[in-house]
């Protein structure tokens, strides 16, 4: 018998539709708080280089020294012209540094913000956006090296340079998806960040970063390391036009395909686990 004068309401657990709506609302709130994202990202950089004379430009200086040190060496080992190899190496290493750092820090995007998540209500995606924006600031500092190298060797971008803007936008969207995806797994399984670091280190050697795809075109393994490599596609849509090469529709098709898969996995994972992240950390 039900007690008179009282009503009991029992609701089922949230379905995928409700969870997806909440995840979208979380992302929308982060976009609304974009000024806070910028402020937190800038604060992260200031705290990281507090007391330093050059600040984040120490990373720029070390990158420039590394490019100059190994550029001439590998140009000789690979029998490449220095005037062509150094611009290729500089742009490849700097953009790869952005990708690898973003991937590594993405795995700790939620665990690193444990205090803020427990202290006050904030959209969880804000912490992923904070990681992306922080690394974008560092990339902006390192672009100085590319400008100097391109000026020295008189590198002129191709007419397809207009594609750099949508390519960079795709990188930011993918970076957000990576931070959300790896951040969830990193919060649930603390072994994920070191595993990701090992995978990224291996990917560095099998991706055309310090070596050019033209070096292995005559080998069968070249198709695996180039055509089936998502890192290559993402690098090439930015690197090619800046180096004066024409637009490559195949690279764009691969980049968009891999990005769509990444966004799908990230959306499903974040939608499914968003409500549990605060308990995992």
Is there a contact between 70 and 210 (Cβ–Cβ < 8 Å)? yes
Give residue 41's pLDDT: 92
* 250 against 11, higher pLDDT: 250
Which residues have a Cβ under 8 Å from the Cβ of 27 and sit 6 or more positions away? 123, 125
- What is the arithmetic mean of pLDDT over 151-162? 89
Instruction: Provide the number of structural domains found in the chain.
Output: 1
195-232 pLDDT tens trace: 999 999 999 998 989 888 877 766 666 667 777 888 99
With respect to residue 26, please indicate whether it lies within any of the assigned structural domains.
no
- Cα separation, 153 vs 88, whole angstroms: 11
With respect to residue 54, please indicate whether it lies within any of the assigned structural domains.
yes
With respect to residue 52, please indicate whether it lies within any of the assigned structural domains.
yes
pTM score, two decimals? 0.87
Burial category of 79 from C-beta neighbours within 10 Å (exposed 0-12, middle 13-18, buried 19 and up): exposed
Q: Percentage of the chain with pLDDT > 70?
A: 90
With respect to residue 231, please indicate whether it lies within any of the assigned structural domains.
yes
Give residue 8's pLDDT: 45
Least confident of 1-15, 124-138, 200-214: 1-15
With respect to residue 15, please indicate whether it lies within any of the assigned structural domains.
no
DSSP alpha helix (H) spans, 78-124: 82-106, 114-119
With respect to residue 268, please indicate whether it lies within any of the assigned structural domains.
yes
Q: Percentage of the chain with pLDDT > 90?
A: 53
With respect to residue 6, please indicate whether it lies within any of the assigned structural domains.
no
Give residue 9's pLDDT: 46
* 124 against 158, higher pLDDT: 124
With respect to residue 17, please indicate whether it lies within any of the assigned structural domains.
no
Range of the domain at 209: 33-280
Give residue 218's pLDDT: 66
Write the CA distances from 223 to 199, 236, 253, 257, integer angstroms: 20, 15, 16, 17
Which residues have a Cβ under 8 Å from the Cβ of 145 and sit 6 or more positions away? 60, 63, 64, 67, 90, 94
232-254 pLDDT tens trace: 999 999 999 999 888 888 999 99
């Amino acid at each position: 018998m039900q007690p008179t004068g009282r009503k009991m309401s029992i609701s089922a657990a949230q379905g995928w539709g409700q969870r997806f709506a909440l995840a979208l609302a979380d992302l929308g709130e982060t976009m609304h708080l974009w000024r806070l994202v910028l402020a937190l990202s800038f604060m992260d950089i200031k705290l990281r280089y507090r007391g330093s004379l050059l600040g984040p430009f120490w990373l720029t200086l070390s990158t420039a020294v590394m490019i100059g040190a190994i550029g001439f060496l590998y140009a000789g080992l690979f029998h490449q012209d220095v005037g062509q190899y150094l611009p290729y190496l500089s742009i490849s290493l700097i953009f790869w540094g952005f990708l690898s750092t973003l991937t590594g820090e993405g795995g700790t995007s939620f665990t690193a913000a444990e205090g803020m998540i427990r202290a006050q209500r904030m959209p969880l995606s804000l912490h992923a956006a904070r990681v992306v924006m922080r690394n974008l600031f560092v990339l902006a500092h390192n672009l100085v090296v590319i400008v100097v190298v391109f000026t020295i060797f008189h590198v002129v971008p191709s007419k397809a340079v207009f594609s750099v803007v949508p390519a960079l936008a795709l990188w930011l969207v993918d970076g957000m998806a990576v931070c959300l995806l790896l951040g969830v797994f990193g919060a649930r399984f603390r072994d994920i960040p070191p595993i990701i670091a090992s995978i990224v280190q291996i990917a560095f050697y099998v991706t055309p970063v310090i070596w050019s795809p033209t070096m292995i075109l005559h080998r069968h393994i070249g198709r695996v390391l180039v055509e089936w490599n998502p890192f290559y596609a993402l690098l090439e849509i930015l690197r090619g036009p800046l180096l004066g090469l024409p637009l490559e529709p195949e690279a764009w098709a691969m980049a968009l395909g891999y990005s769509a898969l990444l966004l799908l996995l990230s959306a499903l994972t974040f939608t499914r686990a968003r409500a549990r992240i605060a308990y995992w950390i």
